[in-house]
A = this chain, B = another copy of it.
């Protein structure tokens, strides 16, 4: 018997989470998952359309066809009750330790191979990148904060708020860490 929490792939659960909030066509799903701002999984449309078909075949989502512009008809997808149940089961399911795969830290791990000046320059670039993402997170949080739904645990905006808060905290920490690294390089330079 398959694990009930394994009704689909990670990508499938990402899409289900999106459709649980509101019905969308594939293009809208793809738009939402193109940039990870305020969201924590990305995918291209070439992955999304086949996955929507699989979810449809498994009965986790259903669609209605809307005739409109374009070479093919538009399909509006909605999550089913089965899909809702599968999503909820996955959310509280077992946590398998996820592999840490961080390209930024992988670079820093080999930073001893380059000249200190170039290293500090790299850290400054990382810092700028974190700052720009932080700003976008702050904007997104400000946008939803006015809605009273953000304080109701059964409202999607509550979940949006707590994940955004996590993003904001982690980017702030990354910025502090970058400043700390620059200070470490400066201290080493002093000792020379």
Please report A residues at the B interface, Cβ cutoff 8 Å: 10, 13-14, 16-17, 20, 36, 39-42, 84, 87-88, 90-92, 95, 97-114, 116, 118-119, 121-122, 125-126, 129, 151-156, 158-160, 162-163, 165-167, 169-170, 172-174, 176-177, 180-181, 184-185, 187-188, 191
Contact = CB atoms under 8 A, between A and B. Distances in A.
Nearest to A184: B162
Contacts of A95: 104, 125-126, 129
Nearest to A14: B106
A167 B170 CA distance: 11
B185 A100 contact: no
A91 B110 CA distance: 7
Number of copies: 2
18 contacts: A17-B110, A36-B99, A41-B101, A90-B107, A91-B111, A91-B114, A92-B122, A95-B104, A112-B153, A116-B154, A151-B187, A151-B191, A153-B185, A153-B188, A162-B181, A169-B173, A170-B173, A170-B174
Given A42-B100, A106-B41, A112 B173 contact: no
Nearest to A166: B177
Contacts of A166: 105, 108, 174, 177
Contacts of A155: 112
Given A36-B100, A42-B101, A177-B166, A110 B129 contact: no
B169 A177 contact: yes
